[in-house]
Amino acid sequence: MAQANAAATLERADDWSADFAAATLNILAGANVLASHTLAGFVTSNNVLDGLATANAISNETITGAGTQTATSATITSGTRIYTLTVGIAGSGADLILSTLTYINGETSSINSLVVTFRS
């Protein structure tokens, strides 16, 4: 199996960061948007051979929807580009780890950090 070096994975992180420089992270319950967070760009780096794209500060947003709902997925979108992510709690192996999957209308949704990893 081929393995990319640090320069190659950093280039992939740089390209992805340019494509998603102005993006939105939507937390979803089915097709319903529970929270829509603005992503204001990424900083790229390497962790050994892996490339990393670390989001700059992420806006807090008010949760929308009827009553209490369960997050089932998330998307990162920029124009016509869309990444669909699984969501789960710590230890679940999901793409996006949340402190809870329960979202209550009117409460605040906060994302502390977002790091996209490009494996070697």
Alpha-carbon gap, residue 31 to 13, rounded angstroms: 29
Residue 2 clears pLDDT 90, i.e. is over it: no
Residue 112 clears pLDDT 90, i.e. is over it: no
* Residue-wise pLDDT tens digits, 15-67: 999 999 999 999 999 999 999 999 999 999 999 999 999 999 999 999 998 89
Q: Are 21 and 41 in contact (CB under 8 A)?
A: yes
Q: Are 53 and 17 in contact (CB under 8 A)?
A: yes
Residue 1 clears pLDDT 80, i.e. is over it: no
DSSP-H helix ranges across the chain: 6-19
pLDDT for position 58? 93
**What's the whole-model pTM score?**
0.90
Count the neighbouring beta carbons within 10 Å of the beta carbon of residue 83.
Answer: 15
pLDDT for position 92? 94
* Residue-wise pLDDT tens digits, 25-35: 999 999 999 99
Q: Are 39 and 25 in contact (CB under 8 A)?
A: yes
Q: Are 55 and 18 in contact (CB under 8 A)?
A: no
Domain positions in the chain = 6-118
Secondary structure letter of residue 89 according to DSSP: -
